[in-house]
Structure 1
């Protein structure tokens, strides 16, 4: 009997399958640092970890204490529970697992007393469990996560990762979100934006190869969303884990088997721009970048840090607003945004100009700050007392205002140091700096004197002065980058995103961790000053449906433009490449958004901007599939002489989208963009290239075949077969608008403003005439042809304008369909 008992005890402490068994009762003591409950392969251990010589936390660690993947925490705050050297973890005979302090009180309890627990185990995946006789789990560390997830650990609805004020959770719609204080959602990764309602089992899991994957059993295929670490799939000896960090960011970390203790490398971050984490710099704190790292400061010298040793604790007014009635002023902060996320966006949002945004806040007793977003929306966000989180930087296009007592005293160009360094040390440094600067200034003055003596009045000096003269444009001007900076940010132009008629586009990451698209322009012959003036014109356009220009480079022969990076890429891959296409609602919103963006370029800018290359490849989609038009304004950069007549050699359009007047050498107007947009609109409906011919289209160009099918009432033949549900009225409206846009005569085409009204259903639409093929007789004998790769163009057309026959678009009418297929009657 004794031998059997010893054998059973030995068995319980050895490997059972891939887990180590811990019998009842068992104890771990904080005073014994060598004591632990380890997994069979010793990768994971449950033990006490010393944070000071006399304080300890109970934790599951990886690789002999390198990484804490679970700890006993306060469920409300997420803070780790600390015990003294007399503390212990007791697995009792009644199945309770309790953490007690040396003085005796229970600090933490698993709440499993008298539930049938027969033993505990820890396996090679790092999961510590309390099990019954049938090995059914009654409590586990995987089901009670703290701030970290390891591979194979499910993260489902109801679970939360916490770190200070920040938390990560999954809701029933399958949305993985980061929140500040449980209320302000500043980041999310949804399963699928088209999913509405509850999913049956939404969950996320980090795989060992570095892929964060979203899963749901009710979704076709099970897998619905993924995020990749930069080293995913590399090496068998790499351990990766997901952690909710105390700075509010969610990151994937990697540890190589060859690394020493603490060598963790972040390989993915949810928020690529750390300053966009709500509350990162505390209440009334403003985040900006010093070198490449975010630093915290105060909005102005009317504020002071709450803690000079920790800038992340925020700022406070030196004099509170209620202490200076009648003496309140407003400080204007350029390139500054007070972050606003739902549910804050409510009645405190207005559509006003910059003056009204400032004055409304000044006159409102409940407003302490406001932000005007320079994205073309005109939104002004009013911030009320509670919590205000700021972001300032050259790439931030917004203007903000903050109330202060008395006279507003702005900050110097850089924030004051709030790290708590010794004042005498800083004074000595300042003295040395002043002396060095004085010497340098003296040397510079001497050199300038010699230069003026030898070169004054020469043509060379005038040329150099003009070359480096800076033109100061309005606020929101693009940032000028050096070629070396962009070469470094793109890793030597190694990650190619695409290539078009204007040059190659590369992915890059700026010093502030903003991801951008860098376009290397080809064929630019202008001087630096003219190029910068054209770039300034492009950057002055701000609209929700236009890609934002961040900056530029004009250095020697190098001409580059830096744009915001749009994660979902261009529209063409969703229409022609991917098996899973966009649904009709998204397609119609993309068509409408694109039309609004082009309307802004044609009719709402100070100078009309003709795009000249509207096509799906130049329509980009952001995270929520909002359409943004790119490459606008580049045609003028390519043709600096600003002539209304462009030669055939200068054509940079794309096959299938060129308006007939391009090929006939007629004046190029905004109606060229209307023609191209019509072709794109037809492709959005059909999911097919308009220049493709096939037996299905009777060997006709698709646009001509589509019109004949529409005349027959066969709308279904035109619509993309991948679309399961469509709004028949919107489909008919879009098809009619596309036929109006691709009319041969420019005068017959509507303006883009009218196109928006037609798509929105504001005006009625009449039946359009049949479109004519591009390669046909023009004005009695001239023919135009385009070769297969659209690189060579030929014409024998004369340069006479075709006769005008412009219909009235004020009474355009959409007639009701004859059947459920969306057939259109002719208007009377």
Structure 2
């Protein structure tokens, strides 16, 4: 009987143990003496609110890691929702591996029941428990009678992700994964350096370099402080990040309640991801706009090219081939044997940053080239002119890394290649976009088997071509040679490029404006002066304010790079930029001069009839559609208002000052994420005020306000009067006033529709209403759609063009029928 009772008691205890073990694996805690098995998918810990799960995560065939991930979210890649891994570089077997919490207080990850690959290295004489909290923190703590003591927590050992409330400290760092499918440690890390500054580092066994903040900038130039040695950084739940080195930012969706995470991605960029309502992640902030500024992103012996509309593209240097078609970080290898050859291939616009074996100042091109020729390990040399010091610079490089196409690079790169029999060869360049697909592009080269007759024809053609060029040059110079000035000093001319876009000197523009005397406009960005250029063209010259100029070398380079992009844009309703000036702290923009001034001036003087106003609305819509959808996708105006819509002699509209917010404060990373307010009060979309994501719809809203102002003749923040408000004058929003007029019109007949539209139009033009009624009604309805509070309810600018153009087509058809 006793034996039966004993056996019954033992079975009862075993049953309770199994039940307890099962319950612990499906709850948020694991008690000491129990474990999670890799072979049981149900052996997981789930946070009390269900947001996070901890357990074994599969990363490959029969390969698992102990991880924490967001529960039940769609995955763009197998590891896209993982936020923490215990031992990323040593996965465990899919059989007999386990996570055990020993009674001695140590948490151990075992591989196939044989060896321990990871441990919390803790011990305790008290009972312990492992818990997954709602914030994603996995915590091991002691169960005291009076207090709870934390022995270990995952927040103290981040991998590549910081969750809101999780601190990055002086002894921790974020290390990117090797790739989207390989969770092992990659080449990029976020950490506090010895000077207490938060930095991004590219690190491999053979090379290491900091690439953010910009390595050529001093800490204070990048807005960082080295004084605070506490070294802490944290992202809060509202989307605000703050670091003890004075680096701060807010996400584009700041203060919106959602899940967020700060992650250093395999491509080396630091981003904040926010969860949308459809459970998809989107980037709400990123540290680096140009992916090619990340060091080592394409590996050695390669070039990187970045286009905002197409992303990053890697390509091998001529004479080199890709090492690994699925991973560009391996770079390229030569297809030839290195020798002390004397062939150099010119690579204009290509820069290799860092890793200079020799750096020389004030040196001739010939001597720079000889330095490379006399060093058999020299693979490349760069020759540049530094305007800041007024000296030529020579860079000799043995390691070819961080190569990229840079519009702002003021120099030329010369790649050393082997000597071939005929002095020329046929090379292939291997290139790929971000998706890793490889294509082959042929470089033009001469055949090695060329007959003497063909060579004779070739040289004869070259000789004839040279003579033609000389003749054309002589005729051209005789036609455009400038006349001598009244003084004895010869004038130095910088002739226009084929696109009529050039760099001016400050003295040229000062002379053109007669010392900046005739002011024709001003705004928050700067003052506009009228000037006459040396070729007698009348120009509008805008002198940017000091806050918008920047003075460093990098600011100047980026200013000129972006201005050159603007200079290449071409649209009949976009004001033509003729050039710029960037000297010291001076930043000036040179535009074509608009005879009729701005739309704001013409609205005040009542010089525009309804036909002109409609054409201005249509032309403005067309150029905004071009900027938003037909051009580079990131070009937003951000300040559409009558002052920035200029009119030529035929009253054709030309939009000015577009995109200049991107030329300001380039060191401020918030500028890139549009977390700072842009625009003018009264014309700004609600997204700016409520820190919502900024899209092209902000321009649509501003455009709608401009149309309402053209129809009513009233400013966006107009003054009410007794007839409108029934009380003393007060500020009233134009949008609200127009909506009220339409709301009070309850009937639906066309006459009544005309009635409410007639009540809002500019009184000075009421006599034209009956003739232009259809156009005015169309404008009014389009404007009200554009100023919807919800950006998703607003049309795109191409849709606006279609609506206005259809009205124009109907009007033209009526005229034809009447004729």
The TM-score, its normalising length taken from structure 2, stands at 0.49
Which protein has the bigger helix share?
Answer: 2
